Amino acid sequence: MQIALLGNPNTGKTSLFNSLTGSYQYVGNWSGVTVEKKVGSLRNGRDDLIDLPGIYSLNPLSKDEAVVSNFLLHESFEEMLNIVDASQLRRNLNLTIPLLEFGKPMVIGLNMTDVAKLRGIRVQEDYLSEELGVPVVPIIARSGTGIEFLEDELYEENAWRKPFKLDYGMAVENAIAALVKLMPKSFSAKRWLAIQFLEENRAVENFIYSVANESLLCKIRSELEEKLSKPPAIDIQDTRNKYIEHVIERVTIREKISRVTLTDKIDALATHKYLGLPIFLLLMYVMFMLTFNWLGFPLSDQLDRLFSGPLTSGLEELLGMIGASSFIHALVLDGIVAGVGGVLVFVPQIFILFFFISLLEDSGYMARVATVMDRVMQAIGLNGKSFIPMIIGFGCNVPGVMAARTVEQPKERLMTILLTPLMSCSARLPVYALFVGAFFTQNQAFVVLSIYLLGIILALLLAKLFSKTIFKQEESFFVMELPPYRLPQWTSLWRSTWDKGKGFVRKAGTFIFAGSVFIWLLTYAGPGGLDVPMDESFLALIGSSIAPLLAPIGFDNWQSSAALLTGFLAKEVVVSTMSIIYTVPDGTLQEVLATSFTPLAAYSFMVFILLYIPCLATIAAINKETGSRKWTLFSMAYALIIAYAVSFSIYQIGQWFIG
């Protein structure tokens, strides 16, 4: 059996999905985290639960929301699970009613009952169940309270569910009856289809215009509009509102409680007139210090010592014992251990960064950041909401680009997608870490922070430029729900951190593993045969053909050109490549690097790495999200041009200063 999970954003849908399916999913707090279609199998092993994006209404106002209407129109499923936030009943029922009209068996999970209680709202589930004619189970999705009862209801074939029918008044009902006759025979929820059509649901219109007579349908709707002397959608909404008020009146008991909640207190600080922005910057600073100086580097150091010490010597012994050839010996130690190990040592830093991003998302702070930043973003032709994809982009550009879907205005969305890759993702981190470790030991975090800031500043400048030239602005709007602050749960935090971070580990096992072997082979073989000196290898050959181009920006050695080429696959491969190229019997990679770059060239190189091109996976995401090859190519081209220009300026001006 297929069960669809539907509900408003921020109602705990993802938490419920996780506790019902026991699968690892991504849990977040800002409307827009659940963008992909996810299917999990329920614990009885027979039924599937399909997670749909959180929506306020079936009538899609953005691309994201059309997913649900299209799902109802085109997919087959047997049952609906509607999650309803007990503390926001009015808004939630606004979605429940059209879902009930769809006519499939439904179970309501009444969530956030703890929050409602704190606010002095008690929802009597038995009355609600009686009103709506479907089972209602009170739950607390976050702690798993009541989940067993919800499961029982889901699996049971209830005989007493009564069909739901709200009377919209004579005029509307007559129009519905007339429309139903015109609806395709094969579609069972004809009344629902008719009502949604009257409500001008765009996804439904698209569907029925392809199977029924458009002009007849529209004639009925415009005649109704004349009769009502207002759009039918408004009249239908009015009827629903009245009904919802009636239901709320009947099922809720309100107790008096004190008005100032914890959320209000935190908001007084987080969105304070003058302190809001400094607080955000301070949090970012702490996040970076923890990721780098305070926690990340020491941990990476330990790991590095483990790899280069016990692990390498252990493997060496093992290879000696089984009598491996010198080829295998070199492949394993110089290729795989150097390449994969060089990237893996940065796992602690990346997980710390992802942990903080998950924390920001889960706690509800992200929505405040969007609000605080809206004024600045508006000034450069973007939207406060564009800020969130960009922050996510610090973790990884791919989910960042995908999160741009929640920006409703098409041009702002496109700009957000194009600019998110300028946010320095965690895969670029190993490269910086390597270089600051070699050249800027005194102020590691500061230098890395300057690179991150450079990315942000460039994004802001380019946004301004783009919105003045390519994207002449249409009317822009901003509305952001600010969910109450919630203390994230450790398990769900860990899950979402792991969910984001595991991609990195997996990449190390597959992509980077294969890449390392390939790159190593290119260094091992050359026109002169196998086991040639590094400088006569194929990689050196390829690298040196590009090197002259890079001389003006500070690094004309073939090694860095080769590393940049391979970095297109994934930015951290740059580190693998360098680890392989610069393998030396004694001394660390960083010591060797110190002899091939000047500090200025190293900085220029880091800037180039930041900007020069989105990685392969990001480009695929951009292509998917924009649906346009033109914009995908644009995203690559402008990055390359900017990277060259900025690195060029830094290197040339820097040299002039140094003399």
Ligand X SMILES: Nc1nc2c(ncn2[C@@H]2O[C@H](COP(=O)(O)OP(=O)(O)O)[C@@H](O)[C@H]2O)c(=O)[nH]1
Helix, strand or coil, per DSSP, at residue 506: helix
Is the Cβ of residue 111 or residue 426 nearer to ligand X in the bound state?
A: 111
Closest contact distance (angstroms) between CB of 206 and other proteins is 18
Q: What is the DSSP letter of 531?
A: S
9 in a labelled binding site: yes
Closest contact distance (angstroms) between CB of 539 and other proteins is 52
The site string for ligand X over 447-486 (x = CB under 6 A, - otherwise) reads ---------------------------------------x
Beta bridge partners of 190: none
DSSP assignments along 73-127, one per residue: HH---SEEEEEEEGGGHHHHHHHHHHHHHH-S-EEEEEE-HHHHHHTTEEE-HHH
29 in a labelled binding site: no
40: CB partners within 8 A, 6+ apart: 17, 20, 21, 22, 23, 25, 48, 49, 51
54 in a labelled binding site: yes
Instruction: Measure the CA angle with vertex 184, ends 178 and 185; round to 5°.
Output: 100
Ranges within 164-193 binding ligand X (CB under 6 A) = none
486 contact choice in other proteins, ligand X, none (CB below 5 to 8 Å, kind-dependent): ligand X
Q: Judged by CB under 6 A, does residue 389 bind ligand X?
A: no
Q: Judged by CB under 6 A, does residue 27 bind ligand X?
A: yes
374 contact choice in other proteins, ligand X, none (CB below 5 to 8 Å, kind-dependent): other proteins
Q: What stretch of H or E contains 262?
A: helix 262-270
Q: What is the DSSP letter of 291?
A: I
Cα dihedral 270, 272, 275, 278 in deg (nearest 10): 50
Helices (H), 331-475: 338-344, 347-363, 365-379, 387-395, 397-403, 410-419, 429-439, 444-468
DSSP assignments along 228-241, one per residue: HTS-HHHHHHHHHH
Helix, strand or coil, per DSSP, at residue 51: strand
Is the Cβ of residue 65 or residue 572 nearer to ligand X in the bound state?
A: 65
The count of residues in the chain is 659
Q: What is the DSSP letter of 38?
A: E
The site string for ligand X over 92-111 (x = CB under 6 A, - otherwise) reads -------------------x
Q: What stretch of H or E contains 40?
A: strand 38-41
Burial of 394 (0-12, 13-18, 19+ CB in 10 A): buried
Phi, psi of 41 (to 5 degrees): -95, 135
Q: What stretch of H or E contains 522?
A: helix 511-524
Closest contact distance (angstroms) between CB of 54 and other proteins is 12
Q: Determine the interface stretch with other proteins among 271-279, 415-423, 487-495, 540-548 (rule: CB under 8 A).
A: 271-279
Give the distance between the most distant pair of CA atoms in the chain. 91
Ranges within 116-155 binding ligand X (CB under 6 A) = 140-142
Q: Judged by CB under 6 A, does residue 503 bind ligand X?
A: no
587 in a labelled binding site: no
Closest contact distance (angstroms) between CB of 443 and ligand X is 36
Beta bridge partners of 327: none
Question: Rg of the chain's alpha carbons, rounded to an integer?
Answer: 29
The site string for other proteins over 25-64 (x = CB under 8 A, - otherwise) reads -------------------------------xx-x-x---
Q: What are the structure tokens assigned to 584, written together? A: 């030396």
Closest contact distance (angstroms) between CB of 356 and other proteins is 23
Is the Cβ of residue 18 or residue 516 nearer to ligand X in the bound state?
A: 18
Ranges within 391-450 binding other proteins (CB under 8 A) = 408
Output the 3-class SS for 252-298.
EEECCCCCCCHHHHHHHHHCCCCCHHHHHHHHHHHHHHHHHHHCHHH
7 in a labelled binding site: yes
Closest contact distance (angstroms) between CB of 488 and ligand X is 5
Closest contact distance (angstroms) between CB of 43 and ligand X is 18
Beta bridge partners of 137: 109
Closest contact distance (angstroms) between CB of 474 and other proteins is 11
Q: Judged by CB under 6 A, does residue 495 bind ligand X?
A: no
Is the Cβ of residue 4 or residue 480 nearer to other proteins in the bound state?
A: 480
**Number of amino acids touching ligand X (CB under 6 A):** 24
Q: Determine the interface stretch with other proteins among 70-78, 89-97, 387-395, 498-506 (rule: CB under 8 A).
A: 89-97
Is the Cβ of residue 341 or residue 384 nearer to other proteins in the bound state?
A: 384
Q: What is the DSSP letter of 145?
A: B
Q: Judged by CB under 8 A, does residue 281 bind other proteins?
A: no
Helix, strand or coil, per DSSP, at residue 646: helix
Among 165, 375, 468, 624, binds other proteins (CB under 8 A): 375
Is the Cβ of residue 335 or residue 395 nearer to ligand X in the bound state?
A: 395
Is the Cβ of residue 255 or residue 475 nearer to other proteins in the bound state?
A: 475
Report the 10 Å Cβ neighbour count for 195: 28
Is the Cβ of residue 108 or residue 112 nearer to ligand X in the bound state?
A: 112
Helix, strand or coil, per DSSP, at residue 137: strand
Q: Judged by CB under 6 A, does residue 489 bind ligand X?
A: yes
Among candidates 590, 508, 501, 506, which has minimal Cα distance to 337? 508
The site string for other proteins over 119-148 (x = CB under 8 A, - otherwise) reads x-----------------------------
Q: Judged by CB under 8 A, does residue 249 bind other proteins?
A: no
Burial of 568 (0-12, 13-18, 19+ CB in 10 A): middle
Q: Judged by CB under 6 A, does residue 12 bind ligand X?
A: yes
Q: Cα separations (Å) of 601 from 85, 327, 331, 566, 609?
A: 56, 34, 30, 19, 12
Q: Judged by CB under 8 A, does residue 176 bind other proteins?
A: no
Closest contact distance (angstroms) between CB of 238 and other proteins is 9
Q: Determine the interface stretch with ligand X among 6-14, 279-287, 307-315, 625-633 (rule: CB under 6 A).
A: 6-14
Whether the Cβ atoms of residue 22 and residue 42 lie closer than 8 Å to each other: no
Per the annotation, where are the binding residues? 7-14, 18-19, 21-22, 32-36, 51-54, 111-114
Which residues of the shown chain bind other proteins in the complex (CB under 8 A)?
Answer: 56-57, 59, 61, 87-88, 90-91, 94, 119, 237, 241, 263-264, 267-268, 271, 273-274, 276, 371-372, 374-375, 378, 384, 408, 475, 477-484
The site for ligand X (CB under 6 A) is made up of 9-15, 27-29, 34, 54, 111-112, 114-115, 140-142, 362, 486, 488-489, 492
Which segments are annotated as binding site for Mg(2+)? 18-19, 21-22
State the binding site for GTP: 7-14, 32-36, 51-54, 111-114
